[in-house]
């Protein structure tokens, strides 16, 4: 076992853009098991959809948030990453800088593969703990298909978004076009066509429309 995160997989990892993303939601023990996988391209709106599932009573987790936790100083996985990539990826406080690490791996396919070989097994392990522990659970992972997790979920939700809209979302995050292009390249390597999803939510008409579509889908799922 590479690491053991506090009862969390991120543990409900809705980062709320704050440092600690743990959101523990009350569970209805009488409800049936329902595992929902949420995926989509970079900057498509997956995190917003995940938040709406959390608001609807799902215990939620995010692969990206798990990665954040695994890279925290003192975590064994962080140590493995440091051993491979060296002290140049550390920030002034001695922790792995996600910015520096990203600049390195998103510009080198071999470096990315090395990082994936370290991170993916631990991300999957922590996410599986969460899914096993919570009957009603939604998990977000852009690399869900690539990481061989399709069979973990009862239903897969793909968040669709036009390239121009994604470009706007990326610009709002302050990410350079060059870095965004590299991130998209690696995330979309192994990205499967729409046919592999059970549901597609198009994020093309603003947050209010996205919320309405997601709420309608959740209501439908809970009635099945």
For the chain, give the percent of residues with pLDDT over 90. 63
pLDDT at 32: 74
Tell me the CATH number for domain 34-64+125-223. Answer: 3.40.50.300
> Does the predicted TM-score (pTM) go above 0.85?
no
pLDDT confidence tier of residue 219, bands split at 50, 70 and 90: very high
Domain boundaries, the chain: 34-64+125-223
Structure confidence at residue 133 (pLDDT):
96
Beta strands in 112-216 (DSSP E): 136-140, 155-160, 199-202
């Amino acid at each position: 076992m590479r690491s053991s995160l506090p009862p969390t997989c991120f543990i409900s990892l809705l980062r709320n853009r704050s440092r600690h993303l743990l959101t523990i939601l009350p569970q209805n023990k009488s409800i049936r098991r329902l595992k929902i996988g949420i995926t989509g391209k970079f900057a498509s709106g997956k995190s917003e959809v995940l938040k709406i599932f959390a608001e609807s009573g799902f215990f939620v987790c995010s692969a990206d948030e798990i990665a954040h936790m695994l890279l925290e100083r003192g975590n064994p996985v962080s140590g493995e990453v440091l051993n491979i990539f060296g002290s140049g990826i550390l920030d002034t406080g001695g922790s792995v800088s996600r910015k520096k690490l990203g600049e390195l791996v998103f510009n080198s396919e071999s470096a990315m593969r090395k990082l994936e070989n370290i991170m993916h097994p631990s991300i999957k392990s922590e996410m599986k703990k969460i899914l096993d522990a919570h009957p009603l659970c939604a998990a977000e992972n852009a690399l869900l298909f690539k990481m061989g997790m399709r069979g973990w979920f009862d239903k897969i939700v793909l968040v669709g978004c036009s390239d121009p809209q994604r470009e706007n979302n990326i610009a709002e995050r302050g990410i350079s076009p060059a870095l965004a292009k590299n991130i998209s390249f690696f995330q979309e390597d192994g990205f499967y066509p729409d046919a592999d999803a059970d549901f597609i939510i198009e994020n093309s008409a603003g947050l209010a429309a996205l919320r309405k579509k997601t709420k309608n889908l959740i209501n439908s799922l809970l009635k099945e």
